[in-house]
Amino acid sequence: MIRRSVSDLAKALAEKEISSLELTQLYLDRIARHNDALNAFVSVDAERSLEQAKAADALRAAGRAQALTGIPIAQKDIFCAKGWRTTCGSRMLDNFVSPYDATVIEHFNAAGAVILGKTNMDEFAMGSSNETSYFGTVKNPWDTQRVPGGSSGGSAAAVAARLTPAATGTDTGGSIRQPAAMCGLTGIKPTYGVVSRYGMIAFASSLDQGGPMAQSAEDCALLLNTMAGFDERDSTSLNRPNEDYSCALATDKGGRPLAGLRIGLPREFFGEGCSPEVMRLIEDAIAEYRKLGAETVEVSLPNMKLSVPAYYVIAPAEASSNLSRFDGVRYGYRAPEYADLNDMYCKTRAQGFGAEVKRRILIGTYVLSHGYYDAYYLQAQRIRRLVANDFVAAFRQCDVILGPTSPTTAFKLGEKAADPVQMYLSDIYTIAVNLAGLPGISVPCGFSTDGQTRLPTGLQLIGNYFDEARLLDVAHRYQQVTDWHTQCPPAFA
Amino acid sequence: MKHWEVVIGIETHVQLSTQSKIFSGSSTAFGADPNAQANAVDVALPGVLPVLNKGAVDCAIRFGLAVGGQIAPKSVFARKNYFYPDLPKGYQISQYELPVVVGGEVAIQVVQGDEAEEKTVHLTRAHLEEDAGKSLHEDFHGKTGIDLNRAGTPLLEIVTEPDMRSSAEAVAYARALHALVRWIGICDGNMQEGSFRCDANVSVRPVGQEEFGTRREIKNLNSFRFLQQAIDYEVQWQIAEIEDGRAIQQATVLFDPDTGETRAMRSKEDAHDYRYFPDPDLLPLIIDRDWVDRARAAMPELPAAKRQRFVDEFKLSAYDAATLTASLELAGYFEAALEDGGKTNAKACANWVMVELAARLNKDGLDISQSPVSPIQLGGLIARIADGTISNNIAKKVFEALWNGEGRTADEVIEKQGLKQITDSGAIEALIDGVLAANAAMVAEFRSGKEKAFNALVGQAMKAAKGKANPQQVNELLRKKLG
């Protein structure tokens, strides 16, 4: 049962092979057994989850079940869920129980899905290895000496170890795609504005976007159907008709389903900086795509190299302001002892935030300061436009862009923790996509046999604005002829 | 001793009369229990987002149209970052580089003695922003309470050029602006509740000097009197400092109404770096021509236009026209009264509204909108004066009766109390005959050349008529009879 995909589980539930209560209990048992080894979940509330499962079974009995009714789904602990402790991976919110539901949570609840628990993450989503969480490092199920990627590392590890059929993530600079690649999952970051940010604790508002993480593109499509949609509570949410992302995947297109598809290969993705092992697997995948009928064209994203520095101005700038609300006044952590108001602010924030969060608040405060704003923030915004324009030009020549998701497979715990710049560069292929607001998906494309253990690798497909359906389809066709995405870490099989 | 010129610019925070807050659905009503009107967005819970209230934008557009400013087709909300316990997000959403209204002007009249000088105050800009909450320092045993009911209340901050040259001009501007924002219905103007608050930037320079002196900003003046007192104190303080050889330091100061003095709150050195940047949670505010046109169509006639029309159409004096257009309510009352009183009786109507009605309202401490005598009732009364049914003196009686609810219309009061003027010359002659017979001595006095005696006889005749005889007819007939 636990090896099954969301769509298979939905069938099992529909055919009364299993109840939601049983299924939820099954996963809760797995969490109880394996979470100590992985630290993927921050909060589990069996009673609450089983209550939802019972309600889902009742809904089904009443004939009102939808696609995700009764499916347990792990929620990244960045989504506010009513009655659930919502920590965002920070001591600052260790004691915060949300009094309201994020729009994404509302959508899952309305669909009858079950919240299986809240998953660990880098503190305030700031990190690429899940080592900045106040609640401890998450381990990669393929090798527990290694990181799962970040910041949605808890969600990635949980899905990979089959502690949940699927999970949500958020992606500001690669936080869905990079951990998906490192844990062997499929994860999609939609076009900015497709998934509501209301109730999703903000890191960098102009870059943050929620999305699903699951075994397959098919499962991601199912989840995205529920997550996406216009929300008047989010002014950056896009008011456009809802799409059925599963629909396109169901059609049989024969032996060469991708005939006519032009895949752009940016020369900047295939140069230095990527491990040869990862590159070899990407080349294999490209060969597979040609067999499926796609043609490849070389494209160029000349400003991509500027995207990491631009990102590390814009994201910290927004974060420094977004995190100002954590001041110890109204909720969350407050230092136990302080002399006066200023001292309360200083001690609360010094004790409540971890080192990486403080580093980014300092950077952000600096780049927004009087006299530096033009040189840093405005300049970064100009670069952002250049990066976006590169993609616009590239999409005149191709339909999707393909390249690696991450330059390496999962690295060792602690390996890059001391060197922020090395850590930041692990998002080199994903960050430009957020700057441009485009959709991107990471798809498992093989295993690195380098060393003792098998480590998964992901390929990244980048689509034009609102091309989620096409991205999912392109990923799905590949997954129909490969089985990388169905493989399970041996220790958790 | 040198002669000094005072230079003043004013920033006004005008609280907009929207039902809900500028970025959340909470009510803006004044006086609720602390935090009863603070929802998840106002409290700045993790994950919440602002959504712009279009009603606040409507107010800004109305203001821009009223002052002849440019309505920016694109303006941008920015975050002003600073920490304070009653600022829940750690930043205030305001507008910085691109405000919603640019330019515009306000005409003011500065009265000095019998002279009234016209002057124009130019506006720099007006921008939308949210208010902060309140810190309550009493009743918490040494702790501070935070009330977020006011947090997120929409404000329009209106900034002038340094155009004013005296506290009198500053007050005249503040009054004109206050009247205008109430006139166009974007602010209730309640200064006690903080709906209209002024900051005054004050500097002095020797007469003839081109460049400005160093300014100090007096914060949060919530009455016209305080505005005047604060500026007057600040000006003499600055002059004394300079004349004593001390330079003025740029600073933010507070006015203490108890001592009548200003004192520095913070100097330029410890001024905040607010780290303004465009709020990524809000899209740029785009105002297209349609939106402006809709707002324009919904605008009332503006005070200046109405004033001019009163002069042209009703032949009122400039003074009367200005008095009657002091507020939209007063002007509305006057025009409604004219409907029944007749446009040709505009002058009489104006006098009644400005003199009798104003005095009576003042006596009972009432506002024009609370007048017990409706404009229709007053109009009816004026019509009866004009057609000779009653005299002006009797009209005062009728007015009092209407005020006390003793009749629904002037006609009803006149009828019920028998106040109709006697115009029948036969009846008046009979009255006069009686008076002449009863006052032979007076008649003799008159005949001996004492003109005063004539007036006494008129008085007797009017008394006999209980005031209802047409005074003109009484005069004429009496003179005829006395030969």
Tell me how far apart the alpha carbons of residues B24 and B37 are, in angstroms, rounded to a whole number: 10
What pLDDT, on the 0 to 100 scale, is given for residue B234? Answer: 97
Pick the residue of B24, B39, B45 with the most A CBs within 10 A to test the interface with A by mutation.
Answer: B45
Q: Is A54 a catalytic residue?
A: no
Pick the residue of B26, B277, B282, B286 with the most A CBs within 10 A to test the interface with A by mutation.
Answer: B277
Tokens coding A115: 């919240």
B258-287 mean pLDDT: 89
Burial of A342 (0-12, 13-18, 19+ CB in 10 A): exposed
What does the buried/exposed string (b/e) look like for B405-437 if buried means 16 or more CB atoms within 10 Å of the residue's CB? eebebbbbbbeeeebebbeeeeebbebbeebbe
Q: Which of B46, B51, B276 sits opposite A232 (nearest CB)?
A: B51
A470-481 mean pLDDT: 97
* Chain A partners within 8 Å of B275 (Cβ): 320-321, 365, 368-370, 373
* Chain A partners within 8 Å of B89 (Cβ): 324-325
**Taking CB atoms and an 8 Å cut-off, how many pairs form between chains A and B?**
98
* Least Cα separation, residue A283 to chain B (angstroms): 38
Residue B1 has a CB neighbour count (10 Å cut-off) of 5
What pLDDT, on the 0 to 100 scale, is given for residue B269? Answer: 62
Tokens coding B45: 């819970």
User: Is A234–B50 a contact, with Cβ atoms under 8 angstroms apart?
Assistant: no
A94-119 mean pLDDT: 98
User: Is A369–B273 a contact, with Cβ atoms under 8 angstroms apart?
Assistant: yes
Query: B268: part of which helix (H) or strand (E)?
Result: none
What pLDDT, on the 0 to 100 scale, is given for residue B176? Answer: 94
Query: B109: part of which helix (H) or strand (E)?
Result: strand B105-112
User: Is A204–B280 a contact, with Cβ atoms under 8 angstroms apart?
Assistant: yes
Residues in chain A: 493
Choose the catalytic residue: A5, A19, A175, A307.
Answer: A175
Task: Tell me what the pLDDT averaged over chain B comes to.
Answer: 92
Per-domain residue ranges for chain B?
4-293, 309-417, 425-481
User: Is B47–A202 a contact, with Cβ atoms under 8 angstroms apart?
Assistant: yes
Choose the catalytic residue: A19, A98, A151, A442.
Answer: A151
Residue B270 has pLDDT above 70, yes or no: no
Q: Which of B83, B88, B273 sits opposite A370 (nearest CB)?
A: B273
Q: Which of B46, B50, B276 sits opposite A86 (nearest CB)?
A: B46
What pLDDT, on the 0 to 100 scale, is given for residue B389? Answer: 85
pLDDT (tens digit per residue) in A8-55: 999 999 999 999 999 999 999 999 999 999 999 999 999 999 999 999
Q: Is A118 a catalytic residue?
A: no
Confidence tier at B331 by pLDDT (50, 70, 90): very high
User: Is A330–B146 a contact, with Cβ atoms under 8 angstroms apart?
Assistant: yes
What pLDDT, on the 0 to 100 scale, is given for residue B438? Answer: 86
CA torsion B273→B279→B285→B286, rounded to 10°? Answer: 110
What pLDDT, on the 0 to 100 scale, is given for residue B34? Answer: 92
* Least Cα separation, residue B135 to chain A (angstroms): 12
Tell me how far apart the alpha carbons of residues B302 and B315 are, in angstroms, rounded to a whole number: 19
Give the strand pairing for A440-448 and A186-189: antiparallel
Tell me how far apart the alpha carbons of residues A72 and A66 are, in angstroms, rounded to a whole number: 14
User: Is B45–A232 a contact, with Cβ atoms under 8 angstroms apart?
Assistant: no
User: Is B90–A88 a contact, with Cβ atoms under 8 angstroms apart?
Assistant: no
Pick the residue of A94, A101, A233 with the most B CBs within 10 A to test the interface with B by mutation.
Answer: A233
What pLDDT, on the 0 to 100 scale, is given for residue A453? Answer: 85
Tell me how far apart the alpha carbons of residues B102 and B160 are, in angstroms, rounded to a whole number: 11
Tell me how far apart the alpha carbons of residues A237 and A230 are, in angstroms, rounded to a whole number: 6
What pLDDT, on the 0 to 100 scale, is given for residue A188? Answer: 98
Tell me how far apart the alpha carbons of residues A287 and B401 are, in angstroms, rounded to a whole number: 100
Which string of DSSP letters, residue by residue, matches A147-168? ---SSSHHHHHHHHTTSSSEEE
Residue B1 has pLDDT above 60, yes or no: no
Helix (H, G, I), strand (E, B) or coil at B130: strand
Q: Which of B46, B88, B282 sits opposite A80 (nearest CB)?
A: B46
Q: Which residue of B has its CA nearest to A331?
A: B45
Which string of DSSP letters, residue by residue, matches B301-367? PPHHHHHHHHHHHH---HHHHHHHTSSHHHHHHHHHHHHHH-GGGHHHHHHIIIIIIHHHHHHHT--
Question: Any residues with CB less than 8 A from the CB of B72 and at least 6 apart, and which?
Answer: B98, B99, B100, B101, B102, B285, B287
Superfamily grouping for domain A6-239+252-259+470-492: Amidase signature (AS) domain (3.90.1300.10)
Helix (H, G, I), strand (E, B) or coil at B152: coil
User: Is A321–B83 a contact, with Cβ atoms under 8 angstroms apart?
Assistant: no
A397-404 mean pLDDT: 98
What does the buried/exposed string (b/e) look like for A460-474 if buried means 16 or more CB atoms within 10 Å of the residue's CB? bbbbbbbbbbbbbbb
* Least Cα separation, residue A102 to chain B (angstroms): 8
What pLDDT, on the 0 to 100 scale, is given for residue A279? Answer: 95
What pLDDT, on the 0 to 100 scale, is given for residue B437? Answer: 86
What pLDDT, on the 0 to 100 scale, is given for residue B2? Answer: 66
Question: Any residues with CB less than 8 A from the CB of B223 and at least 6 apart, and which?
Answer: B191
* Chain B partners within 8 Å of A329 (Cβ): 85, 88, 146
* Least Cα separation, residue B40 to chain A (angstroms): 8
Which string of DSSP letters, residue by residue, matches A120-157? --SGGG--SSS-S-TT-PPPBTTBTTB---SSSHHHHH
User: Is A330–B50 a contact, with Cβ atoms under 8 angstroms apart?
Assistant: no
Helices (H), B115-223: 167-183
Helix (H, G, I), strand (E, B) or coil at A440: strand
Q: What is the DSSP letter of B77?
A: E
Q: What is the DSSP letter of A377?
A: I
* Chain A partners within 8 Å of B46 (Cβ): 80, 86, 88, 93, 96, 98, 201-202, 325-326, 332
* Least Cα separation, residue B138 to chain A (angstroms): 16
Q: Which of A102, A198, A205 sits opposite B280 (nearest CB)?
A: A205
What pLDDT, on the 0 to 100 scale, is given for residue A320? Answer: 98
Task: Tell me what the pLDDT averaged over chain A comes to.
Answer: 96
Confidence tier at A272 by pLDDT (50, 70, 90): confident
Contact A103/A198 with Cβ under 8 angstroms? yes
Q: Which of B47, B91, B275 sits opposite A365 (nearest CB)?
A: B275
Residue B121's φ and ψ, nearest 5 degrees, are -105, 125
CA nearest to A131, candidates A318, A355, A339: A355
Question: Minimum mean pLDDT among A37-46, B26-35, B264-273: which range?
Answer: B264-273
Residues in B whose CB is inside 8 Å of some CB of A read 40, 43-52, 79, 81, 83, 85, 88-91, 146, 273, 275-277, 280-283
Q: What is the DSSP letter of A304?
A: G
Choose the catalytic residue: A7, A19, A43, A76.
Answer: A76
Tell me how far apart the alpha carbons of residues A243 and A447 are, in angstroms, rounded to a whole number: 33
Q: Is A76 a catalytic residue?
A: yes
Chain-centroid distance, C-alpha A159: 12
Confidence tier at A324 by pLDDT (50, 70, 90): very high
Tokens coding B132: 């902060």
What pLDDT, on the 0 to 100 scale, is given for residue B41? Answer: 97
* Chain A partners within 8 Å of B47 (Cβ): 79-80, 98, 102, 197-202
Could you tell me which residues are beta bridge partners of residue A228? Answer: A195
Per-domain residue ranges for chain A?
6-239+252-259+470-492
Tell me how far apart the alpha carbons of residues A166 and A163 are, in angstroms, rounded to a whole number: 9
pLDDT (tens digit per residue) in B390-432: 888 889 999 999 999 998 999 898 888 877 877 777 888 888 8
Pick the residue of A92, A121, A324 with the most B CBs within 10 A to test the interface with B by mutation.
Answer: A324
* Chain B partners within 8 Å of A94 (Cβ): none
Confidence tier at B353 by pLDDT (50, 70, 90): very high
What pLDDT, on the 0 to 100 scale, is given for residue B482? Answer: 81
User: Is A80–B88 a contact, with Cβ atoms under 8 angstroms apart?
Assistant: no
How far the first Cα of chain B sits from its last, in Å, is 75
**Secondary-structure percent of chain A, ordered helix, strand, coil, rounded to 5:** 45, 15, 45
Residues in A whose CB is inside 8 Å of some CB of B read 79-80, 86, 88, 93, 96, 98-100, 102, 197-202, 204-206, 232-236, 317-318, 320-321, 323-327, 329-332, 341, 345, 365, 368-370, 373, 377
pLDDT (tens digit per residue) in A326-380: 999 999 999 999 999 999 999 999 999 999 999 999 999 999 999 999 999 999 9
A391-418 mean pLDDT: 95
CA nearest to A112, candidates A198, A209, A23: A23
Question: Minimum mean pLDDT among A228-232, B167-171, B200-204, B394-398: which range?
Answer: B394-398
Q: Which of A232, A236, A325 sits opposite B90 (nearest CB)?
A: A325
Tokens coding A19: 């109840």
User: Is A88–B46 a contact, with Cβ atoms under 8 angstroms apart?
Assistant: yes
Q: Which of A197, A206, A321 sits opposite B79 (nearest CB)?
A: A321
Contact B11/A292 with Cβ under 8 angstroms? no
- Please state, for a pLDDT cut of 90, what percent of chain A lies above it: 93
Residue B268's φ and ψ, nearest 5 degrees, are -60, -35
CA angle A381, A385, A388 (to 5 degrees): 135
Q: What is the CATH number of domain B425-481?
A: 1.10.10.410
CA torsion A70→A71→A77→A81, rounded to 10°? Answer: -20
CA nearest to A443, candidates A459, A457, A420, A455: A459
How far the first Cα of chain A sits from its last, in Å, is 11
Q: Which residue of A has its CA nearest to B35?
A: A330
Question: Any residues with CB less than 8 A from the CB of B204 and at least 6 apart, and which?
Answer: B4, B5, B6, B7, B213, B235, B238, B239, B242
Tell me how far apart the alpha carbons of residues B269 and B250 are, in angstroms, rounded to a whole number: 9
Q: Which of A200, A206, A368 sits opposite B280 (nearest CB)?
A: A206
